[in-house]
């Protein structure tokens, strides 16, 4: 299709989409005199969440509601907490805000004191503003944002000195811009209907957030429709005409999230789209904070939420992430950012600047879509990374905003040995090829090392899945023709040929449980390469410890598992076990295949980089996504 035809299709479909979009999404909104940047929240959206992520009380009884606190006489409360802090450093560095005001309604028994407190990059505390009052009413404190560039935050401290103290309607505000950008939420879901319905319900349950949202797109790619769930139908009326439910083929996270960007960017070139996973525990306040920040940035900016662990909800995954393209590694911690840290014990004082933000929850302005196009149809894994990298190449930064987060399934409860490794391997090569000059020698050496560790650990299915990803990368951009549907089916089906990829119930594994002897791992080897060579030789010649060995997930390192020839390993999910067994013939075949594939990769990598880069405009075009979605021009 020539460029004029592509443009005609896109313009025609833009009209179709705009006509179907909620009216509020099509226009910018008049701003209030002051914009609410965040609210005082004092308890979480679920009983699973520790209240001290919001406010900490000492000295007596405190009654908490979502948006209010009541303190008994003598109680002190502070909001120097994960959700209670105001990320002053980020607001000063990236937005036009120069001063922030905090207002609240106080119900004072006899006397109360309120302090507006700041920290610096080292966490040192200083009082910015304070008041002592004996009368109920509205209290106001202010702070200039002029000493926070490298780090620091603001929070409040309350003392109920003379009697009970009630606090409500607490808001952090700043002078508003002339217009407020429309905002839509796009939720991508695949057979997590109950979880998705609860996420939609969380948005509906907060009137302030619901009023600020102009549209919600639920993009359902599964066979268990969200719209059939009672919970979804129960909250649907609360949205009025704002809710849009879309069914489409399963094109992975890339296809689901792109549909939201596709729909909204066709309607308003100044709109924001908040991409949101279906299976999160949603903190609705995060939507308000991301939206406010995006309205105040100097330039259109991708604004991401942080991720707290769902099973360990006090813990932060990482404060900010970056990608090391030359090493095919994403999810790398930005230096000085917190990682796997209890947010009840520590705060991120230093400002850390992200390279990209994952799409568990991330706001993307329509200007970004207009300039760089839509995401690449790589199904899932690395789609969010690629988009953040491409945006930065075109001048759009990403800010991962502290004190704005959702809870998402803990990554370390997911086993590395699964079909998703196909997409992780293939897509890392695609993204690396598109955005940096990969060193073929370095990359093949790294991949060989990884595969060698998997072979000695008897993870033959994982090796096959990894090679499958490399081989499909070698096929060039045509491997993305169907958006990943065939690749998903192949990756899943072919793993069935490898017994160790199958998860069994821990109580009834297909071995005699009485024969299992548990072996714990020692310390990590200091000369890992020499140990790997020795393990490979021992595995090859059968010089391994015989018998049925049990290994816990925490001990399942390649250098430990490879000591044995028959191992029962706990799955990372803790929901079952996998059984690995030495198979010399299979290991030999996979080793020879590895050598052939990596030689070809080294030889063909320069040409492949050129092919993928040349294909990017077509891959990311509206016309290509319309083809994948089956959208026809009206």
Structure tokens given for 352 = 């850390």
Q: What is the largest CA-CA distance in the chain?
A: 84
Q: Select from 94, 93, 59, 92 the least CA-distant residue to 77.
A: 59
Contact (Cβ atoms closer than 8 angstroms) between residue 374 and residue 627: no
Whether 439 sits among the annotated catalytic residues: the reply is no
| DSSP calls for 326-360 | GGTEEEEEPTT--EEEETTT----B----SB--TT
Burial 311-328 (b: 16+ CB within 10 A, else e): eebbbbbbbbbbbebeeb
Would you give the DSSP letter of residue 532?
H
Q: Select from 310, 406, 315 the least CA-distant residue to 358.
A: 406
Q: What is the helix (H) or strand (E) element at residue 464, kind and residue range?
A: helix 460-474
**Of 278, 384, 415, 418, catalytic:** 384
CA 111 → CA 139, 159, 160, distances in Å? 13, 9, 7
Contact (Cβ atoms closer than 8 angstroms) between residue 402 and residue 303: no
Using the structure block, give the residue that is written with the tokens 């299992």. Answer: 516
Distance CA 586, CA 229 (A): 46
Q: How are beta strands 154-159 and 76-78 bridged, if at all?
A: antiparallel
429, 430, 433, 435 alpha-carbon torsion, rounded to 10°: -120
Contact (Cβ atoms closer than 8 angstroms) between residue 224 and residue 191: yes
DSSP, collapsed to helix, strand or coil, labels residue 264 as helix
As to burial, measured by CB atoms within 10 angstroms (0-12 exposed, 13-18 middle, 19+ buried), residue 523 is exposed
Would you give the DSSP letter of residue 478?
G
Q: Left, alpha or beta for 152 (phi > 0: left; psi -120 to 50: alpha)? A: left
Structure tokens given for 138 = 């509205």
Contact (Cβ atoms closer than 8 angstroms) between residue 26 and residue 182: yes
Distance CA 519, CA 541 (A): 22
Distance CA 120, CA 126 (A): 8
Distance CA 221, CA 490 (A): 19
- Residue 414's CB is within 10 A of a number of other CB atoms, namely 12
Structure tokens given for 580 = 């690995």
Describe the crossing of helices 460-474 and 420-435 by its angle, rounded to 10 degrees: 40
Would you give the DSSP letter of residue 114?
E
Distance CA 445, CA 437 (A): 16
Distance CA 382, CA 369 (A): 17
Contact (Cβ atoms closer than 8 angstroms) between residue 191 and residue 274: no
Distance CA 461, CA 452 (A): 13
CA 233 → CA 204, 206, 230, 515, distances in Å? 12, 17, 5, 52
Residues labelled as active-site residues: 384
């Amino acid at each position: 299709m020539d460029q004029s035809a592509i443009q005609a299709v896109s313009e025609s479909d833009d009209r179709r989409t705009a006509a179907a979009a909620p009216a509020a999404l099509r226009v910018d909104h008049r701003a209030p005199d002051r914009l609410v940047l965040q609210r005082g929240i004092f308890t979480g959206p679920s009983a699973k969440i520790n209240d001290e992520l919001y406010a900490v009380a000492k000295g007596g009884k405190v009654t908490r509601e979502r948006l209010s606190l009541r303190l008994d006489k003598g109680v002190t409360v502070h909001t120097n907490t994960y959700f209670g802090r105001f990320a002053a450093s980020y607001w000063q560095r990236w937005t036009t805000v120069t001063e922030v005001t905090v207002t609240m309604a106080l119900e004072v028994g006899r006397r109360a004191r309120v302090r507006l407190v700041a920290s610096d990059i080292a966490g040192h505390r200083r009082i910015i503003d304070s008041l002592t009052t004996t009368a109920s009413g509205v209290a106001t404190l202010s702070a200039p944002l002029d000493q926070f560039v490298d780090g620091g935050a603001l929070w409040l401290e309350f003392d109920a000195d003379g009697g009970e103290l009630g606090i409500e309607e607490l808001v952090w505000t700043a002078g508003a811009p002339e217009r407020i950008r429309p905002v839509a939420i796009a939720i991508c879901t695949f057979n997590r209907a109950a979880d998705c319905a609860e996420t939609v319900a969380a948005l509906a349950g907060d009137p302030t957030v619901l009023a600020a949202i102009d549209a919600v797109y639920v993009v359902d790619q599964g066979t268990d429709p969200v719209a059939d769930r009672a919970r979804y139908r129960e909250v649907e009326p609360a949205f009025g005409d704002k809710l849009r439910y879309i069914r489409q083929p399963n094109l992975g996270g890339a296809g689901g999230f792109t549909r939201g960007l596709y729909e909204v960017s066709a309607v308003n070139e100044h709109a924001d789209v908040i991409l949101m996973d279906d299976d999160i525990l949603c903190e609705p306040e995060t939507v308000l904070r991301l939206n406010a920040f995006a309205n105040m940035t100097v330039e259109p900016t991708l604004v991401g939420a942080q991720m707290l662990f769902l099973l360990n909800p006090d813990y932060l995954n990482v404060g900010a992430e970056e990608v090391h393209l030359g090493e095919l590694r994403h999810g790398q911690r930005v230096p000085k950012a917190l990682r796997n840290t209890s947010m009840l014990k520590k705060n991120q004082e230093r400002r850390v600047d992200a390279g990209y933000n994952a799409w568990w929850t991330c706001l993307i302005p329509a200007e970004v879509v207009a300039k760089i196009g839509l995401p690449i149809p790589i199904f899932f894994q690395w789609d969010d990374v690629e988009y953040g990298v491409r945006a930065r190449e075109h001048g759009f930064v990403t800010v991962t905003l502290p004190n704005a987060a959702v809870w998402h399934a803990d990554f370390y409860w997911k086993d590395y040995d699964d079909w998703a490794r196909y997409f992780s391997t293939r897509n890392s090569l695609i993204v690396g090829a598109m955005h940096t000059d990969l060193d073929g020698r370095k990359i093949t050496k790294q991949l060989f090392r990884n595969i060698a560790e998997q072979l000695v650990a008897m993870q033959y299915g994982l090796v096959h899945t990894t090679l499958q990803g490399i081989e499909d990368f070698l096929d060039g951009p045509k491997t993305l023709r169907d958006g990943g549907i065939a690749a998903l089916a192949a990756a899943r089906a072919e793993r069935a040929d490898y017994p160790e990829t199958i998860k069994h119930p821990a109580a009834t594994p297909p071995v005699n449980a009485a024969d299992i002897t548990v072996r714990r791992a020692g310390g990590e080897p200091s000369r890992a390469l020499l140990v790997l060579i020795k393990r490979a030789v021992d595995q090859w010649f059968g010089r391994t410890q015989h018998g049925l060995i049990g290994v816990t997930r925490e001990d399942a390192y390649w250098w430990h598992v490879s000591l044995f020839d028959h191992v029962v390993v706990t799955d990372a999910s803790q929901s079952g076990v996998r059984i690995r067994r030495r198979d010399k013939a299979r290991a030999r075949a996979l080793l020879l295949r590895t050598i052939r594939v990596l030689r070809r990769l080294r030889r063909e990598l320069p040409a492949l980089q050129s092919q993928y880069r040349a294909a990017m405009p077509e891959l990311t075009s509206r016309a290509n996504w319309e083809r994948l979605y089956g959208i026809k021009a009206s």
